[in-house]
Amino acid sequence: MATERTFAIIKPDAVKRGLTGEILSRIHKAGFSIIAIKSKWMSIGEAQGFYAVHKARPFFGELTQFMSSGKSVVMVLESENAIGKWRDTMGATDPAKAAPGTIRRDLGTSIQNNCTHGSDAPETAAFEIAYFFSGHELV
């Protein structure tokens, strides 16, 4: 299986609750390399652009308000099968339905406040990485 990169966010709910270190520790233990990382307070426009795929969904307004409500940590992670592996490490979108031992199950508080984001396919990973990072940050 080939080395792959994915895009990850520690969302504002987790940053505000002081969970950044715990989540970074889980990322290291799962075997990812952190290729790039920075703190980012998204504007509402940046959040709307990032989640544009969900703009017709009833929760879009609430989601983009939430994602622009404070600082996030945005990252590029690398490993074999990084996209699927990071989604497995996070667990299902709704913490109540996520498997025990996953980030969302252990640390998430609601379907919206679910601590982390992960790309869902190679095309979305490429879009999301380029949305927040320039080429010179990805060497």
Residues forming the site for ligand ATP (CB under 6 A): 59, 63, 93, 111-112, 114, 117-118, 120
Q: Which is nearer to ligand ATP, 112 or 136 (CB)?
A: 112
Please, which residue, 86 or 133, has the CB nearer to ligand ATP?
86
Give dist(CA 91, CA 112) in Å, integer: 14
Which tokens in the block code for residue 111? 């379907």
Provide the 10 A C-beta neighbour count for residue 13. Answer: 22
- In the annotation, is 54 catalytic? no
**Least distance to ligand ATP from the beta carbon of 118, Å?**
5
**Torsions phi, psi for 28 (to 5 deg):** -65, -45
Alpha helices in the chain (DSSP H): 12-16, 20-29, 44-50, 60-67, 82-90, 103-107, 122-132
Residue closer to ligand ATP (CB basis): 102 or 133: 102
Collect all residues with Cβ–Cβ distance below 8 Å to 138 and sequence separation of at least 6: 35, 36, 76, 129
68 or 114: whose CB is closer to ligand ATP?
114
- Specify the 3-state DSSP secondary structure of 63: helix
Tell me the closest approach of the beta carbon of residue 59 to ligand ATP, in angstroms.
Answer: 4
Name the minimum Å distance from CB 57 to ligand ATP: 7
Least distance from ligand ATP to the Cβ atom of residue 47, Å: 11
- Active site residues per annotation: 117
